[in-house]
């Protein structure tokens, strides 16, 4: 087995405290701890100098963490700027929230080049390099320019938008050209693959070949959907033993018999939290019988607060929760409990298990691991109901969920009533279908399938530079 080098923007070094709230880190941590290797990326800290020039390494179990501090300017341009004010909104179909500037674009390529410069000397001929997510699309090309010839794979954790949306990005052609430096590209769902294929065809830069591989800018690349999973059985075990978790006990006691509805999301406009609160408000207005009998817990750690749109949203959602509570609360009942803190995974597992309904209603989401965790955590003889947006990648797999359109506020309100009233036999039937799917397609399956494909691929490295120079 070759040595694995994983590269992601954020590297979650285990510190014994709260785990990170974010699916990429959660998905990869378990897999890396099991297989071992090197995990390279941003430390989460800001460098004192203008340009970071060194890699700090830390050994934890079988994993070597190789960490780079980024300068304030790099963070502003590359992370908060181009990654999170251009690529993130655009790839989540939010053209209205994009902000393209040459300065942030320059920062994006600058940090990718810096990562390549620092990583290239660490890569050996037999290694496989697995690069993750939208922050680092050009990295393979930069590594190739720096002489790296081994197999390099890429996985996009967020949606790949249709070509009419992607072409809003002024440098879309260069970005996609950079993808040709990879040997294998993984997306979350068949829809993402379809969007990518349509883009290549329309822009006349590639196509799907008869053997299933793609040709992109003249180079053969394997492209496939590998939906990311969770550690299903381990998570189910944690949930089953959550009775003695004090946070879960406190929550259970405080419910005094009311049904729990739960939502767990980073504070991000893609997650549809405001629309969900409006749907809950509509549910309380329409379903008068339910008033006083349900509690909706929304766990929402703050995220990317340095980005203006996120700061604005913090205010909007907090005000909305206050308004709904003001309108419907009673002396002894608060309909929405809105919590802006990160809850640890053990407690989360127990909270999912306590809940009758899981609300996962993003406006657009690459996958959404919370949906899978909710299913894994349920009681096998009395499971709750998952209400899932058709726009979450997870909806392509979880056909036992009640599928909703989050833009349809009253429709989602009706689905909440239906979920609360669903008879046991229907709940069991729906839950079993979903559990079987996520037990088989868990995070180990995801990792194995991607890496098997990468290790079997003939490396593109030898012929990389000439065509790809333009991309940097």
Ligand X SMILES: O=P(O)(O)OC[C@H]1O[C@H](O[C@H]2O[C@H](CO)[C@@H](O)[C@H](O)[C@H]2O)[C@H](O)[C@@H](O)[C@@H]1O
Ligand Y SMILES: O=c1ccn([C@@H]2O[C@H](COP(=O)(O)OP(=O)(O)O)[C@@H](O)[C@H]2O)c(=O)[nH]1
- Is there binding between residue 368 and ligand X (CB under 6 A)? yes
Pick the piece of the chain touching ligand X (CB under 6 A) from 162-170, 230-238, 329-337, 364-372: 364-372
* Measured distance CA(374)–CA(380) in Å, rounded: 12
Among candidate residues 268, 282, 257, 272, the one with its CA nearest the CA of residue 415: 282
Residue 157 is a catalytic residue: yes
Of residues 381-440, those binding ligand X (CB under 6 A):
none
CB under 5 to 8 A by kind: which of ligand Y, ligand X, none does 384 bind?
A: none
Say which residue the tokens 């989460």 belong to: 44
The residue sitting closest to ligand X, measured at its beta carbon, is: 23
Is residue 205 classed as helix, strand or coil in its secondary structure? coil
Nearer to ligand X, 183 or 192 (CB): 192
- Is there binding between residue 441 and ligand X (CB under 6 A)? no
Nearer to ligand X, 277 or 443 (CB): 443
- Is there binding between residue 248 and ligand X (CB under 6 A)? no
121 phi and psi angles, rounded to 5 deg: -65, -15
Contact present, 182 and 221 (Cβ < 8 Å): yes
Smallest gap from Cβ 90 to ligand Y, in A, equals 16
Contact present, 273 and 267 (Cβ < 8 Å): yes
> Which residue of the set 69, 192, 265, 365 is catalytic?
365
Whole-Å CA distances, 33 to 30, 60, 177, 228: 5, 9, 33, 17
What torsion, rounded to 10 degrees, do the Cα atoms 7, 11, 13, 15 define? Answer: -170
- Is there binding between residue 22 and ligand X (CB under 6 A)? yes
Contact letters (x/-) for ligand X, 176-215, by CB under 6 A? ----------------------------------------
- Beta strands 206-208; 214-216: pairing state: antiparallel
Contact present, 184 and 454 (Cβ < 8 Å): yes
Binding residues for ligand X, rule CB under 6 A, total 17
Please list the residues that pair with 214 across neighbouring strands.
208, 221
Q: Which of 44, 301, 314, 323 binds ligand Y (CB under 6 A)?
A: 301
Among candidate residues 163, 230, 131, 221, the one with its CA nearest the CA of residue 440: 230
Pick the piece of the chain touching ligand Y (CB under 6 A) from 96-104, 133-141, 365-373, 424-432: 365-373
Pick the piece of the chain touching ligand Y (CB under 6 A) from 21-29, 100-108, 113-121, 407-415: 21-29
> Which residue of the set 157, 192, 441, 442 is catalytic?
157
Pick the piece of the chain touching ligand Y (CB under 6 A) from 137-145, 183-191, 340-348, 396-404: 340-348
Please list the residues that pair with 42 across neighbouring strands.
10, 68
Question: For the chain, first and last CA: distance in Å?
Answer: 32
Contact present, 323 and 330 (Cβ < 8 Å): no
- Is there binding between residue 373 and ligand X (CB under 6 A)? no
Q: Which of 67, 156, 180, 343 binds ligand Y (CB under 6 A)?
A: 343
Q: Which of 7, 11, 24, 317 binds ligand X (CB under 6 A)?
A: 24
Tokens of 129: 């390099």
Q: Which of 3, 10, 302, 345 binds ligand X (CB under 6 A)?
A: 10
**Which distant-in-sequence residues (6+ apart) come within 8 Å of 349 by Cβ?**
235, 238, 239, 242, 373, 376, 377
Residue 49 is a catalytic residue: no
CB under 5 to 8 A by kind: which of ligand Y, ligand X, none does 297 bind?
A: none
Contact letters (x/-) for ligand Y, 240-279, by CB under 6 A? ------------------------x-x-------------
For residue 202, the surrounding DSSP H or E stretch is helix 190-202
Among candidate residues 134, 222, 227, the one with its CA nearest the CA of residue 454: 222
Nearer to ligand Y, 26 or 128 (CB): 26
Among candidate residues 230, 223, 178, the one with its CA nearest the CA of residue 394: 230
221 phi and psi angles, rounded to 5 deg: -135, 140
Pick the piece of the chain touching ligand X (CB under 6 A) from 66-74, 142-150, 313-321, 363-371: 363-371
Q: Angle at the Cα of 228 (from 161 to 38), degrees rounded to 5?
A: 105
Among candidate residues 410, 374, 405, 408, the one with its CA nearest the CA of residue 392: 405
The residue sitting closest to ligand Y, measured at its beta carbon, is: 23
Contact letters (x/-) for ligand X, 97-136, by CB under 6 A? ------------------------------------x---
**Interface positions with ligand Y (CB under 6 A):** 19, 21-24, 26, 264, 266, 299, 301, 342-343, 345, 348, 367-370, 373
For binding to ligand X (CB under 6 A), which residues are involved? Answer: 10, 22-25, 27, 133, 157-158, 228, 303-304, 365-369
Q: Which residues are catalytic?
A: 157, 365
């Amino acid at each position: 087995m070759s040595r694995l080098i994983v590269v992601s923007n954020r590297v979650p070094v285990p510190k014994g405290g709260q785990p990170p709230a974010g699916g990429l880190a959660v998905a990869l941590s378990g897999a890396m701890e099991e297989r071992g290797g090197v995990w390279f990326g941003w430390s989460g800290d800001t460098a004192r100098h203008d340009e970071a020039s060194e890699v700090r390494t830390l050994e934890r179990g079988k994993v070597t963490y190789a960490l780079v501090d980024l300068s304030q300017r790099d963070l502003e341009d590359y992370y908060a700027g181009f990654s999170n004010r251009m690529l993130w909104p655009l790839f989540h179909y939010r053209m209205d929230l994009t902000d393209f500037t040459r300065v942030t674009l320059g920062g994006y390529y600058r940090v990718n080049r810096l990562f390549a410069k620092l990583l290239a000397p660490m890569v050996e001929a037999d290694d496989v390099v697995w690069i993750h997510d939208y922050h680092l699309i050009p990295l393979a090309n930069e590594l190739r320019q720096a002489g790296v010839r081994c197999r390099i794979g890429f996985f996009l954790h967020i949606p790949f938008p249709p070509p009419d949306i992607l072409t809003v990005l002024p440098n879309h052609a260069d970005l996609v050209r950079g993808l040709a430096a990879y040997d294998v590209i993984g997306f979350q769902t068949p829809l993402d693959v379809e969007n990518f294929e349509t883009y290549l065809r329309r822009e006349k830069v590639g196509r799907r070949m008869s053997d299933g591989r793609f040709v992109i800018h003249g180079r053969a690349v394997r492209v496939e959907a590998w939906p990311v999973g969770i550690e299903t059985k381990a998570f189910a075990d944690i949930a089953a033993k959550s009775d003695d978790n004090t946070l879960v006990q406190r929550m259970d006691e405080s419910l005094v018999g009311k049904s729990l509805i739960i939502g767990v999301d980073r504070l991000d406009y893609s997650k549809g939290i405001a629309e969900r609160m409006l749907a809950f408000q509509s549910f309380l207005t329409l379903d008068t019988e339910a008033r006083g009998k349900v509690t909706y817990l929304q766990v929402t750690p703050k995220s990317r607060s340095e980005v203006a749109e996120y700061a604005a949203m913090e205010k909007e959602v907090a005000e909305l929760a206050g308004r709904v509570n003001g309108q419907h609360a009673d002396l002894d009942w608060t309909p929405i409990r809105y919590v802006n803190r990160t809850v640890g995974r053990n407690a989360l597992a127990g909270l999912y298990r306590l809940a009758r309904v899981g609300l996962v209603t993003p406006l657009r989401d690459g996958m959404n691991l919370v949906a899978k965790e909710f299913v894994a955590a349920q009681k096998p003889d009395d499971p709750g109901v998952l209400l899932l947006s058709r726009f979450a990648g997870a909806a392509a797999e979880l056909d036992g969920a009640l599928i909703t359109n989050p833009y349809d506020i009253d429709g989602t309100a009706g689905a909440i009533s239906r979920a609360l009233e669903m008879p046991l036999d229907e709940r069991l039937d729906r839950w079993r279908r979903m559990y079987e799917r996520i037990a088989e397609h868990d995070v180990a399956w995801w990792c194995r399938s991607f890496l098997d494909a990468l290790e079997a691929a003939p490396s593109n490295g030898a012929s990389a530079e000439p065509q790809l120079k333009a991309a940097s």
